[in-house]
Structure 1
């Protein structure tokens, strides 16, 4: 699966990469190089993060599904347990 960012998010990511290089590396990185690095990350690493996110969501949903019976459970055969419905002489 290819992972694509909206154009505005991609532009902000490139600016963030440029800022990171300016503050934490030996020198600045150009706009084209930052864009290429972002492209590499999206192709190489983004699927890993995406797959982990999907697995996390599946786990959370599975936990919620397991709770459905508790949330929507209806007690069975309760007619005779209500006051005034006890059989006389029983």
Structure 2
């Protein structure tokens, strides 16, 4: 699965890669090279990042699901306990 990004985001990513190369490598790269490099990273490393993000979301959702019973739990068979409590207050 290749991760696709919006056209505008792709343009910004390419510009960022070009700037990174300009500031960190002896030779700058052009937009064609930056675009190819971006495509490579999206295809090769993108799924790794995506899968980690999905796993993180699953972990957080699982933690929230584990808390649901605490948040929405209702004690059972409370009618008579409440009635008896009312009678004792009278």
TM-score (norm 1): 0.89
Size of the aligned set, in residue pairs, is: 86
> Residues 15-26 of structure 1 correspond to what in structure 2 (within 5 A)?
15-26=15-26
Deviation at residue 85 of structure 1 after TM alignment? 4.2
The question of 1:84 aligning with 2:86 is answered yes
Please report the RMSD computed on the Cα atoms of aligned residues, expressed in angstroms: 1.1
* Conserved? CA contact 1:3–1:47, under 8 Å: yes
- The structure where helix makes up a greater share of residues is 2
Which structure's relative contact order is higher, taking Cα pairs within 8 Å and 6+ residues apart? 2
TM-score (norm 2): 0.89
Structure 1: give runs of 5+ residues left out of the alignment.
none
